C-alpha cells in the first residue's frame, strides 16, 4: 500500500514539475510577444535581464539577494498548501517578523553576535508564527476562512507597524517611518562585499531542506501529506486534523517571519515602513512554480530573483518598462493555475507537428 502511495505521489510530482516547466517556457515566450508588440526588442530585453543577472559576480549576488525574502515566503505558502490551506498572509507575517527582529536588534544590546543574531531570528520566527496561529485557531474553532482572515491581517499588521515606525519607535529627526538602527552584533554577515547577499541565503536553504525532510521522512510529515490529499482518510487513520492544521499553519507563518528578519538584519538594518515590494504575494507564484516542493521553491525563487535583478538593469540601461517583468510573473501564475491550458497548447503543437510530418512524408512518397 505504501509503495502504491509513493508511486502515485511520484507520478503526481512528475506531472506537476512538467506543467511548471512548460508554464515557465510559455510565460517567457508570451512575454517576448508582448514586448515585441509594444515596440521593444525581446532579445535586448532578455539579454539585459539575464546577461547582467547571471553574467557578473555582483549581478549573481543581486539575483540571490532579491530572491532570498521570496524564498522564505514561497516556503511559507508551499507548506500551508500541503494541508490545502491558503496562506495569503505571508506579507503580514513578513512585516511582523521584521518588526520583531528590529526590536530585538535595536533595543536588546550588549550581546555577542552568536547570541544576538539567533535571538533576533527567533523573535521573527515567533512573531510570524503567532500571527498565523491566530488564523489557524479561528479556522479550527469557528470555521473561519483563512484567505479572508490573512488578507485582513495583512492590512492590520502593515498599518500597526507603520504606526510604530512613525510614532513611538521613530528616531528623532528622521524624515521617514523607521525604527532605530540595529546593533552591529545583530547584523547578518555579508558573503560578498558591497552587495546585499548575506548568510540569510544559507538560512533559507537550510529551512527548505529541513521542511523537505520533515514532509518526506517524519511521522508528522506523513500526517500533513495525508491531511492534504484526503481529509476523510486522515480522520479515519486517527490523525488529529485540527492539530495538523495548527502546527502546519503556524510553521508557515514562522517561516515568512524569518523573511522579514532577513531584510532587517541583512539589508536595511532597521524596520522601514513599506520595505516589502510584495514579497509575500510573490511567494505564491514561486510556490506554484515549484509544485509546492520546498527544495523546488529555492530554484523557482532564484528565477524570480533573476527577473527582479533584471528590472534594475532594465531601469538603468534601457527604456523598456520594468512592468514587463511583473507581467511575466503573473503569466507564470496563470499557466501554473491552469494545467489544462498547458495541455491544450501542447496538443495544438503536437497536432501541428504531426501534420507537418505527414506533409513531409507525403512529398517524400511522391518523389
Evaluated on CA atoms 169, 175, 176, 182, the torsion sign reads: negative
Delimit the domains of the chain by residue range: 2-354
C-alpha to C-alpha distance for 50 and 31, rounded to whole angstroms: 14
Assess contact for 192 and 61: CB atoms under 8 A. yes
- What does the pLDDT average to over 343-361? 72
C-alpha to C-alpha distance for 329 and 316, rounded to whole angstroms: 21
| pTM metric for this prediction | 0.88
Higher pLDDT, 297 or 46: 297
* Least reliable range by pLDDT among 40-49, 105-114, 122-131, 264-273: 40-49
Answer yes or no: is pLDDT of 139 > 90.
yes
Answer yes or no: is pLDDT of 1 > 50.
no
Orientation angle between helical segments 279-289 and 241-263, nearest 10 degrees: 120
* Least reliable range by pLDDT among 209-213, 251-255, 307-311: 307-311
Answer yes or no: is pLDDT of 191 > 50.
yes
pLDDT category of residue 340 using cuts at 50, 70 and 90: low
C-alpha to C-alpha distance for 45 and 52, rounded to whole angstroms: 11
Between the CA of residue 300 and those of 11, 139, 201, what are the distances in Å?
20, 30, 14
C-alpha to C-alpha distance for 140 and 133, rounded to whole angstroms: 10
Angle at 344 (CA atoms; ends 340, 350), nearest 5 degrees: 140
Q: Mind listing the pLDDT tens digit for each residue in 265-294?
A: 999 999 999 999 889 989 998 998 888 999
Answer yes or no: is pLDDT of 16 > 80.
no
pLDDT of residue 51: 82
Which residues neighbour 90 within 8 Å (Cβ) at sequence distance 6 or greater?
Answer: 73, 76, 77, 252, 253, 256, 259, 279, 280, 281, 283, 284
Higher pLDDT, 21 or 238: 238
CATH topology of domain 2-354: ABC transporter involved in vitamin B12 uptake, BtuC (1.10.3470)
Amino acid at each position: 500500500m505504501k509503495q502504491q502511495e509513493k508511486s502515485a505521489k511520484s507520478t503526481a510530482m512528475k506531472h506537476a514539475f512538467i506543467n511548471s516547466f512548460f508554464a515557465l517556457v510559455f510565460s517567457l515566450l508570451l512575454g517576448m510577444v508582448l514586448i515585441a508588440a509594444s515596440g521593444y526588442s525581446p532579445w535586448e530585453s532578455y539579454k539585459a535581464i539575464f546577461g547582467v543577472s547571471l553574467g557578473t559576480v555582483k549581478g549573481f549576488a543581486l539575483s540571490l539577494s532579491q530572491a532570498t525574502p521570496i524564498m522564505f515566503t514561497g516556503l511559507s505558502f508551499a507548506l500551508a498548501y500541503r494541508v490545502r490551506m491558503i496562506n495569503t498572509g505571508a506579507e503580514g507575517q513578513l512585516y511582523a517578523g521584521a518588526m520583531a527582529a528590529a526590536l530585538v536588534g535595536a533595543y536588546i544590546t550588549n550581546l555577542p553576535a552568536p547570541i544576538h543574531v539567533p535571538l533576533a531570528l527567533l523573535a521573527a520566527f515567533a512573531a510570524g508564527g503567532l500571527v498565523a496561529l491566530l488564523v489557524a485557531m479561528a479556522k479550527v474553532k469557528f470555521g473561519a476562512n483563512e484567505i479572508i482572515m490573512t488578507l485582513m491581517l495583512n492590512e492590520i499588521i502593515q498599518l500597526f507597524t507603520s504606526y510604530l515606525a512613525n510614532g513611538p519607535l521613530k528616531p528623532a529627526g528622521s524624515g521617514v517611518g523607521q525604527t532605530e538602527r540595529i546593533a552591529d552584533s545583530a547584523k547578518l554577515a555579508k558573503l560578498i562585499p558591497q552587495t546585499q547577499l548575506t548568510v540569510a541565503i544559507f538560512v533559507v536553504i537550510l529551512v527548505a531542506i529541513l521542511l523537505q525532510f520533515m514532509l518526506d521522512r517524519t511521522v508528522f510529515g506523513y500526517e500533513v501529506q495525508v491531511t492534504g490529499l484526503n481529509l476523510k482518510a486522515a480522520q479515519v487513520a486517527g490523525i488529529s486534523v485540527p492539530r495538523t492544521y495548527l502546527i502546519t499553519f503556524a510553521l508557515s507563518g514562522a517561516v515568512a517571519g524569518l523573511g522579514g528578519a532577513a531584510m532587517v538584519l541583512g539589508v536595511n538594518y532597521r524596520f522601514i515602513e513599506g520595505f516589502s515590494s510584495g514579497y509575500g504575494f510573490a511567494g505564491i507564484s514561486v510556490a506554484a512554480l515549484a509544485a509546492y516542493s520546498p527544495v523546488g521553491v529555492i530554484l523557482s525563487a532564484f528565477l524570480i530573483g533573476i527577473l527582479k535583478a533584471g528590472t534594475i538593469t532594465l531601469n538603468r540601461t534601457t527604456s523598456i518598462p520594468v512592468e514587463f517583468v511583473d507581467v511575466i510573473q503573473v503569466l507564470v501564475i496563470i499557466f501554473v493555475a491552469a494545467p489544462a491550458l498547458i495541455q491544450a497548447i501542447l496538443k495544438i503543437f503536437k497536432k501541428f507537428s504531426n501534420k507537418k510530418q505527414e506533409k513531409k512524408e507525403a512529398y517524400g512518397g511522391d518523389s
